Amino acid sequence: MGSPWAQEALRLVVLLVLGVFLGGLAGNVLLGSLIAALVFSGYQLLQMHRFAKWSASKKKVVLNQKGGWGELSYEYLKLQKKSRARKKKLGKILKRFRESTHALPDPAVLLNSRDEIEWFNKAAELMLGLNYKDRGQIVSNIIRAPKFAGLLQNNKGNASLEIRSPVDDAKSLELRLVEFKNQRLLVARDTTHIHHLMNMRQQFVANVSHELRTPLTVVLGYLEILSDDESLGKEYRERIDKMLKPATRMKTIVGDLLTLSTLDTAEPPLLDKCPEVKVSGLLNSLMIDMELLNSGRHAIKVDIQSNLMLRAVDSELYSVFSNLISNAIKYTPDGTQISVRWYEANGKAIFEVHDTGQGIEQEHLPRLTERFYRIDVGRSRDKGGTGLGLAIVKQILRRHDSELEISSEVGQGSCFSCEFPSPRVVFSTSSD
């Protein structure tokens, strides 16, 4: 007989017909049909009650009812089964996810929008020292590194940061924050072995440079003596002069390599330990050497804010300024205008060397500070360059919370500048 709901409708119709018939016999059709409707509603109420009891119980069989309510319980049970199967599947996926994240060798910590720890894997327990009590805690209260608090507040793009492992001081960790929706994933990577390799490389370069320096100094010394020896024939002295040039270059390279390896390994100078350098004095004396190098080939304009001082290591600052100015002198054609500026803007100190030379093609700009990168190797050699000058500049600036900015346009010239943050800036009150 039709659908279960048709059965329910038939039941209502039969009851109504019976009610009307009996009501007619009793002389009140309306009362008869009203009683029939009441009986039907009462029956439905009872079924509803049975259904509610059944759905609350853990029964897994279809409700033994005919008509719509039996059908409803069947559909309900089907849905329940489906949802149980889905839950089981999700549970399995979650279990597998947990197992795989726990097997991850790198620490991972899930943070909510308030930077509270929601979840972490086994590696985070081992390397970051987290335990179950740390759930719900603000992560910066657990990983106590000032730099880390900075990263949490100001996480830019792909920024990362190195810290010592809170559980093992000998280990270095690289931390990175991955943002998604309202949450963040803190991932860490053990970089101890990379540091070890870098140290080995730096040590190797430093040792080789040290080993080469002494014999080179001896060879150069003898070559210089021989080159000045009038008793030797002109032909001999010319040959000696030819040997002097590459030997001097080698000495410069060795010197630059040693400078770089010192800068690589030495801890950056602490701001409050840095002396206040009178930059105007330093630049004035540097310009005397630079004018000698220039020997009138270019017009050099110098604009120095004399009261602007900087907390820095003066020898390192000297190296940055002389590299940038000498590059402008060496790598631009005669008659170029060079302008050297030292000034304050928005509380920051800015050093700028601008030239109207031939400029540098854009493709070279990002690579200029790489070690041994030169645009024209032959030309750089002729000018006594080692390809290490801008690498040294970059390293020194990093140690002084600054970085090198390079802009250039072919045919227009180049500008090399750096900006020192306000905590390093000091204004002298004396006029000298």
- Which positions from 265 to 284 touch ligand ADP by CB under 6 A, shown as an x/- string? --------------------
CA distances from 52 to 48, 57, 58, 66, 165 (A): 6, 9, 12, 16, 58
Q: In the bound complex, what is the minimum distance in angstroms from residue 293's beta carbon to ligand ADP?
A: 12
CB-CB neighbours of 136 under 10 Å: 10
253 is a site residue for ligand ADP (CB under 6 A): no
Q: Within 13 Å and on the Cβ side, how many CA atoms surround 408?
A: 22
388 is a site residue for ligand ADP (CB under 6 A): yes
DSSP state of 267: P
Choose between 16 and 375: whose C-beta lies nearer to ligand ADP: 375
Choose between 179 and 376: whose C-beta lies nearer to ligand ADP: 376
Residue number of the CB closest to ligand ADP reads 385
331 is a site residue for ligand ADP (CB under 6 A): yes
Residues 404-423 interacting with ligand ADP (rule: CB under 6 A) = 414
332 is a site residue for ligand ADP (CB under 6 A): yes
110 is a site residue for ligand ADP (CB under 6 A): no
Residues 289-328 interacting with ligand ADP (rule: CB under 6 A) = 323, 327-328
Are the C-beta atoms of residues 365 and 406 closer than 8 Å to each other? yes
Are the C-beta atoms of residues 402 and 313 closer than 8 Å to each other? no
Label residues 68-105 b or e (16+ Cβ within 10 Å = b): bbbbbbeeebeeeeeeeeeeeeeeeeeeeeeeebeeee
Choose between 162 and 370: whose C-beta lies nearer to ligand ADP: 370
Choose between 184 and 374: whose C-beta lies nearer to ligand ADP: 374
Q: How many residues touch ligand ADP (CB under 6 A)?
A: 20
Choose between 261 and 332: whose C-beta lies nearer to ligand ADP: 332
Choose between 369 and 402: whose C-beta lies nearer to ligand ADP: 369
CA distances from 311 to 179, 284, 308, 348, 399 (A): 36, 18, 10, 12, 12
Token reading at 33: 């049909």
SS3 of residue 255 by DSSP: helix
130 is a site residue for ligand ADP (CB under 6 A): no
Are the C-beta atoms of residues 16 and 77 closer than 8 Å to each other? no
Burial of 309 (0-12, 13-18, 19+ CB in 10 A): buried
387 is a site residue for ligand ADP (CB under 6 A): yes
Are the C-beta atoms of residues 258 and 386 closer than 8 Å to each other? no
Stretch that binds ligand ADP, among 49-57, 225-233, 340-348, 388-396 (CB under 6 A): 388-396
Binding ligand ADP (rule: CB under 6 A), the pick from 130, 290, 304, 390 is 390
342 is a site residue for ligand ADP (CB under 6 A): no
360 is a site residue for ligand ADP (CB under 6 A): yes
Tokens 């509380």 correspond to 347
395 is a site residue for ligand ADP (CB under 6 A): no
Residues that bind ligand ADP (CB under 6 A): 323, 327-328, 331-332, 355, 357, 360, 368, 374-376, 380, 385-390, 414
